Amino acid sequence: MMSAVTPIAPQRAARIASQLVELIEIQKLKPNDRLPSERALAELLAVSRPSLREALHILQAQGYVQIKHGQGTFVQEPIVAQELRASMMATTHGLNELFDAREVLEVPASKWAAAKATKEDIRLLRATLNQIETVTSTTPIDYDQLQVLDSKFHLTIVGIAENRFINQTLHVLQDVMKMSMETTLRLPGRSEVSKREHNAILDAIEAGDGELVSKLTLQHISGARAVALADAKEKNDR
């Protein structure tokens, strides 16, 4: 007589799924990054492999991961973020709307980051600023790469704040802004101003000064907004 298979409690699988999402965020895994093997994950979380598989299937249904048989499990953008991206891409947004959204998302996140940043977080942010310095010191400047690094700096700060919704929304917003406007970093003098402001923001985060970093972040976004609006007006007047 065959023994019955004990079903896995939904609450247990959901709890493991939440632990996996936390692991993805702690390790700063991005879409298309591969998760450790089932065996390694089961040992890390101290759970059985059947329970782990059930949790992975929950995350796949939610759009957090994609299970590729014979290849492994890969991180992907959650369905909610995919739907938000599709909705925002299908709508025409004014520059003020886009910068308003940046302020709403980034200013509080920068304050939280100042309270939560570790030495490793500071090291990663400093490394990004060093990369920006290298790119801007090269002639001609690769503005596409500069824009990527600029976005990386801001997204890393929001990631440190550990707010999943803000993190996902800002990723989408950054992509919408790339589609909607040329980077202001191409404008004369803007990249140098941006570098100084980035360094001041990082110094405030390292010092744990949440009030100062939120003020500096707001000033940084306001400056970018002013430059972008002036550039757009000049182009429209031609």
User: For residue 42, how many other CB atoms are within 10 A of its CB?
Assistant: 18
Nearest Cα residue to 104 out of 21, 213, 214, 226: 214
**5-9, 75-79, 85-89, 229-233: least confident range:** 5-9
Please indicate, yes or no, whether residues 127 and 71 belong to a single structural domain of this protein: no
Q: Look at residue 1 in the predicted model and tell me its pLDDT.
A: 39
* CB contact at 8 A, 198 and 216: no
* CB contact at 8 A, 128 and 147: no
For residue 16, what are the CA distances in angstroms to 40, 50, 56, 67, 76?
A: 14, 11, 9, 16, 18
Domain range for 55: 10-76
pLDDT at 82 exceeding the cut of 70: no
Nearest Cα residue to 170 out of 148, 187, 154: 154
Please indicate, yes or no, whether residues 184 and 198 belong to a single structural domain of this protein: yes
**At 21, which CATH number?**
1.10.10.10
Counting Cα atoms < 13 Å in the Cβ hemisphere of 56 gives 24
Give the domain-ending residue among 50, 76, 102.
76
Average pLDDT over all residues of the chain? 85
Nearest Cα residue to 81 out of 57, 97, 62: 62
Q: Look at residue 2 in the predicted model and tell me its pLDDT.
A: 38
pLDDT bracket for residue 36 (50, 70, 90): very high
pLDDT at 127 exceeding the cut of 70: yes
Please write down the HEC assignment for all residues of 111-142.
Answer: HHHHHHCCHHHHHHHHHHHHHHHHHHCCCCCC
Give the domain-ending residue among 33, 48, 76.
76
Give the domain-ending residue among 45, 76, 107.
76
Beta strands in the chain (DSSP E): 65-68, 72-75
Is 2 a domain residue?
no
